[in-house]
Structure 1
Amino acid sequence: MRTLMRVLCAVVAGAGLVVGAGSPAGAGGVSLAPEADLAYHGYVSMADGRVDVRLTPRNHGPSAVTDATVRLRWSVALADRQSLPGGCARADARAVVCRTGELAADGLGEEIRLAVRLRGAPAEVMLEFETVWGGGAVDGNRANDRQRVLVLDTGDSYVF
């Protein structure tokens, strides 16, 4: 009977979370989730199939974010073997996800640096960035946390 009660309590609590999750506002129309505006700026270059990326996450606020995740997706497949920095992991054949760490309201995060090898040596690649998890915060301005950069195999830096 005790086990059944625990299961029922867990189901009821879970149902409450699901019901509450569909409504961004609580009683009186006040938002229950913190609000943050995440953006990414930096530069990217490519030479001989190696892409170097440096990006700095920024939180325009108004609330701090304990952690967030940014996805970097290339238009071509990555080489099978990669050496990624701590906080970054391979997501699929063309993508890597990286933690931003804590982002103070109206503050900059730590610079994320990574170098990846592409499969082959393409003349150009499209690199897309986007937030895939905002630490539970609501981002009302999704336009500045999604970017696309065309990178040519010239060794030149492209700023975003």
Structure 2
Amino acid sequence: MAPGEADLAYHGAAVMADGRMRVWFVARNHGPEAVSDATVRLRWSVPLGVRQVLPEGCVRAGVRVVVCRTGELAADGLGERVELAVGLRGVPAEVGLELDTVWGGGAVDRNRGNDRQRVLVLDTGDTYYF
């Protein structure tokens, strides 16, 4: 049986102040078929602090990387909001954050452009949307 086809995308926001960053996002499957689960990778341009408290469904996967499950995504459906706060090493003035799909539940995603997001977040307390 051939794998189904999906079109995953991520939209959300990030805010940074005093060496801590909050990130929240929602996964969307533009379809045409449902996805049983997917995994999104969040990668920071600076190392994360040694100890992190991450929400259920998210795990640390490297010095600068966290991966999170999206859960089931219906065709043309939204996932649950994923929200996490991480401590960064030091107090950087700016940090790049990248999100992309690591695993799409076995579905084929022919439009990989919209499941890769990049945002530059400044240490201002302002919210940056992606």
TM norm structure 2: 0.99
Q: What SS class does the counterpart of residue 113 from structure 2 fall into?
A: helix
Quick check: which one's helix share is greater? 1
Q: What SS class does the counterpart of residue 144 from structure 1 fall into?
A: helix
Gapped runs of 5+ residues in structure 1?
1-25, 27-31
Pairwise mapping of residues 57-76 of structure 1 onto structure 2 (< 5 A)?
A: 57-76=27-46
Distance 1:33 1:86 in 2: 28
Distance 1:33 1:78 in 2: 36
Corresponding position: 1:159 with 2:129: yes
For CA contacts below 8 A with separation 6 or more, give which structure has more relative contact order. 2
Matched with 2:94 is: 124
TM norm structure 1: 0.80
Q: CA deviation at 1:48?
A: 0.4
Distance 2:21 2:112 in 1: 25
Q: CA deviation at 1:33?
A: 1.1
Distance 1:146 1:96 in 2: 15
- Moved runs in structure 1, 4+ residues, more than 3 A? none
Match of 1:91 among 61, 66, 71: 61
Name the aligned partner's letter for residue 121 of structure 1.
V
Counting aligned pairs with the same residue, the percent is 72
Q: Deviations over 1:14-49 (max 9, x none)?
A: xxxxxxxxxxxx8xxxxx110000000011000001
CA RMSD of aligned residues (A): 0.7
Distance 1:71 1:110 in 2: 16
Gapped runs of 5+ residues in structure 2?
none
**Looking at CA atoms only, which structure, 1 or 2, has the larger radius of gyration?**
1
